[in-house]
Structure 1
């Protein structure tokens, strides 16, 4: 009996996935899978198959059972592989922070290759049978658009982590495929990979609706989602690490999303943006059912220890120092008014919506990381969960939810694309293409001037100064949203940002200080390091071995 199964395992094929592709020798039909004949004849089952391509499966420890396109709210964020945060209890993140990446040890980044190619095969299978299904032409067209978008998203994840990748086209790999078929292992160039994914997104955008109406489920792909993904891809392509596209093309791709006229910046408060599903800034999101334990509650995973939280992804001082004063000046500017012994006053309002610091108001109390005796320090309850950096994460958390109850997770969305990213994409690409013209200022100042932020507008900058300003704006506006890891690499500045120690803050009581406390820098995680080969992840050793050495490893790694 042929069955449609998840293909777990190595390689771009299911060739090496022997444990998940064993034949069923029982005569009784299996109840944990769907027979091919059912999906080939039942359009509702096929629709469910397409919807389930928006999620993935657990491939290693500390992943959710349905991981989606990214980590989302589950355990360690991608930010904890950067200078934004560290994961308090490691969970396979420190190997990357400490520069120990190897083909046989990718830590928290170990499942991207397998998950992406598995999803690509699943999309290819659906595309191979869809024309034989009794669906209306219009609905079939939309489903093809969705599948092409999902497939392109997976290619994006491969490209931004490994560089040039194996392009499978519409091939549906099988166990019987010839291991010597070169098309299964030949990696395309970065330019070829991006060109392919971009053309697929153009096709998807032509098929997808602008709006998700009542008959077209929220959380599924739209024209805007396809164009937003293309905007990100072409921005990466033009960047120094990729050197595979033009800034003009990247600016045009972002402008295409802007010209839809559908999206705008959310004006209901920066922090509230991440708690409000389907608001006008969100282009593509993952939605969760409220009051379920479908994924780990962000409040529990990241909350301060005295409140019962695990103190998971804890912000670094490196990130805190990137926030400007509310007068628009960097804290390193002598005219900024910054006081290192009263460091949290008059900062960019997005700081207060993102990071919990000593003295921050929180759940009808205040955060106390000071020593001796601070309840959120390692002298408070549950000291094993006390922040190693002196900070806790506030962004994404809903204070209306219980921290200690795992049955109150899920109402807030996880946002993959939002309009602020598109404006930042446009500002960066246009500045690189022609310099800081009026449209660049308009894009970046709209973000800085959104309601509840109201940071001073930028003006009179050189191209180089605008480049610096845009990079800082991306760091602040998109903090903890899985951008920083890729931004510092594509700009080729990771050798500076990731070789800086992982700093935290030690807080003591000092009645003579204007804040009542003393603040001293400390190293929160020792051994932080970045090598030149780390601009790309290594392809997992298991994939190289399964190809009999035909799959080419990234430079700098020894198989």
Structure 2
């Protein structure tokens, strides 16, 4: 018997008015059944926008945690929440924050599955538009699974491909059936391969960034370059540097993305709740500042602007005093009588700051890193990549030269440091340290505690078919 489902209010939310094109600016349609939703272009567009919104909602739950559990960050006692438990390896499988991250990314992936299942069956609009919608769903699913794998895949970013990753759901199901819908965890390698498959398939039917109208659409909706950038990240997570180099080159071939001359163009001040545009170097992000004034949708709360987080002393000591990322993108404050440097990447006290998910400097430095792993020497091309990011922030310096590095390993260390300085507080520091065998916030943390435990509820409802991560079996 066919069931008519009422799609949740996400259909009409479309909070990303700037990111999605004007076709997505629809009034709420809370009573539309799914058959009607996927029949027409306009309502299907709304469903796609709602799926992006679900991905955004998931990202708001782990964006800060990915920084507060990395050695690049310090935090106040009032902001600690469960960060201390994660950093000390004592977080419990029943922790609510842990469950929220898990559930919200899976919700986005499951909603993407709904699009992939219903659009080809029910859609009666242009075939090219239907293919694009399905490609966007594949991108969203890939992004969600890559994030889940980084948090919960046992050894996923530590070069242990055969260990348990996450449970993959690739089919749409009408309601929950314990006998058919409970699956064991797939291996890390299997999950990585599915992420890669999704992105490679999506590229075929997504527009080139040159075909998208306006920066906000280019950043807020997936295109070929968005997938290429995420493939670069996925291959780095796997330590497959040859393929990371291939996809970085593809992503960097698009002239629409350029480094801004001024770092304040990338992260402009926003004290008055203004709508802030993305920069030319943003590849993917969520335009929170254009959400109509609903500050509770903000991606970072008010923790950054209220000085609860700061650059770690170890990291701040690596910045030159004249580095523009320090002089323009930091405020000096005090915590317990000690000076600290607060990021100004998120200055709005209402939390209405755009969320950066991928920027051009990440891909430039990813290419530099991949070249360091695949070369036996340091080349002028490698120097040019490092200088592109470093000299933007330090324009009065002469830049690096080949002779500054005795080996590719020395060069690699400098690239990773530059990455820490450039991308701090953008939601990836923890994962970058894991995949490069560098310590996390707590340098004494055992390897089997460098991944979160599978939420207890997931293990219970599976009757033990979903196994706990090794470091938490006896918790």
* Aligned partner (choices 265, 272, 280) of residue 272 of structure 1: 265
1:481 aligns with 2:422: no
Correspondence for 2:237: 236
Task: Encode CA deviations 1:488-541: one digit per residue, 9 max, x unaligned.
Answer: 1111222xx4335xxxxxxxxxxxxxxxxxxxxxxxxxxxx6222122221111
Correspondence for 1:193: 191
Contact 2:310 2:340 in 1 (8 A): yes
Segments of structure 2 that go 5 or more residues without pairing to the other structure are 11-28, 154-164, 269-275
Quick check: which has more Rg, 1 or 2? Answer: 1
1:160 aligns with 2:160: no
Equivalences for 1:280-359 in 2 at 5 Å?
Answer: 280-290=280-290, 292-295=293-296, 296=298, 301-303=303-305, 310-323=306-319, 325=320, 346-357=321-332
Correspondence for 1:335: none
Seen in structure 2, the aligned counterparts of structure 1 residues 294 and 387 have a Cα distance that, compared at 3 Å, is: farther
Contact 1:152 1:201 in 2 (8 A): yes
Q: Secondary structure at the match of 2:135?
A: helix
Seen in structure 2, the aligned counterparts of structure 1 residues 72 and 530 have a Cα distance that, compared at 3 Å, is: closer
Seen in structure 2, the aligned counterparts of structure 1 residues 280 and 215 have a Cα distance that, compared at 3 Å, is: closer
Correspondence for 1:3: 5
Contact 2:6 2:30 in 1 (8 A): no
Seen in structure 2, the aligned counterparts of structure 1 residues 471 and 455 have a Cα distance that, compared at 3 Å, is: farther
1:499 aligns with 2:439: no
Equivalences for 1:429-468 in 2 at 5 Å?
Answer: 429-435=370-376, 436-450=378-392, 453-459=395-401, 460=403, 461=405, 462-468=407-413
Q: How far 1:214 moved relative to its partner?
A: 6.0
Cα distance in 1 for partners of 2:346, 2:441 equals 27
Q: How far 1:108 moved relative to its partner?
A: 4.0
Q: Secondary structure at the match of 1:94?
A: helix
Segments of structure 1 that go 5 or more residues without pairing to the other structure are 9-30, 58-65, 239-245, 304-309, 326-345, 359-368, 370-385, 501-528
Q: How far 1:53 moved relative to its partner?
A: 0.6
* Aligned partner (choices 200, 203, 211) of residue 201 of structure 2: 203
Cα distance in 2 for partners of 1:396, 1:284 equals 16
Contact 2:267 2:345 in 1 (8 A): yes
Q: How far 1:201 moved relative to its partner?
A: 0.4
Cα distance in 1 for partners of 2:324, 2:238 equals 32
Seen in structure 2, the aligned counterparts of structure 1 residues 272 and 175 have a Cα distance that, compared at 3 Å, is: same
1:247 aligns with 2:241: yes
Contact 1:185 1:550 in 2 (8 A): yes
Q: Secondary structure at the match of 1:302?
A: coil
Contact 1:88 1:388 in 2 (8 A): no
Cα distance in 2 for partners of 1:208, 1:352 equals 39
Seen in structure 2, the aligned counterparts of structure 1 residues 51 and 298 have a Cα distance that, compared at 3 Å, is: closer
* Aligned partner (choices 40, 47, 50) of residue 49 of structure 1: 47
Cα distance in 1 for partners of 2:417, 2:213 equals 37
Q: How far 1:389 moved relative to its partner?
A: 5.6
Q: Secondary structure at the match of 1:550?
A: coil
Contact 2:37 2:44 in 1 (8 A): yes
Cα distance in 1 for partners of 2:344, 2:205 equals 35
Cα distance in 2 for partners of 1:186, 1:257 equals 35
Contact 2:39 2:119 in 1 (8 A): no
Q: How far 1:42 moved relative to its partner?
A: 4.2
Cα distance in 2 for partners of 1:413, 1:297 equals 8
* Aligned partner (choices 361, 366, 370) of residue 425 of structure 1: 366
Cα distance in 2 for partners of 1:256, 1:472 equals 24
Contact 2:311 2:343 in 1 (8 A): no
Task: Encode CA deviations 1:377-420: one digit per residue, 9 max, x unaligned.
Answer: xxxxxxxxx6686325232144xx6x4xx4xx53x422111110
Q: Secondary structure at the match of 2:283?
A: strand
Seen in structure 2, the aligned counterparts of structure 1 residues 122 and 174 have a Cα distance that, compared at 3 Å, is: same
Cα distance in 1 for partners of 2:416, 2:465 equals 39
Correspondence for 2:345: 396
Cα distance in 2 for partners of 1:199, 1:298 equals 31
Contact 1:270 1:453 in 2 (8 A): no
Task: Encode CA deviations 1:407-444: one digit per residue, 9 max, x unaligned.
Answer: xx53x422111110001111111111114333221211
Q: How far 1:33 moved relative to its partner?
A: 5.2
Correspondence for 2:93: 103
Seen in structure 2, the aligned counterparts of structure 1 residues 428 and 217 have a Cα distance that, compared at 3 Å, is: closer
1:128 aligns with 2:77: no
Correspondence for 1:78: 66
Aligned residues: 424
TM-score (norm 1): 0.69
Cα distance in 1 for partners of 2:315, 2:398 equals 20
Q: How far 1:549 moved relative to its partner?
A: 0.1
Seen in structure 2, the aligned counterparts of structure 1 residues 498 and 40 have a Cα distance that, compared at 3 Å, is: closer
Correspondence for 1:94: 84
Q: Please identify which structure carries the higher helix content.
A: 2
* Aligned partner (choices 136, 142, 146) of residue 136 of structure 2: 146
Seen in structure 2, the aligned counterparts of structure 1 residues 249 and 165 have a Cα distance that, compared at 3 Å, is: same
Contact 1:448 1:454 in 2 (8 A): no
Cα distance in 1 for partners of 2:224, 2:418 equals 27
Contact 1:78 1:482 in 2 (8 A): yes
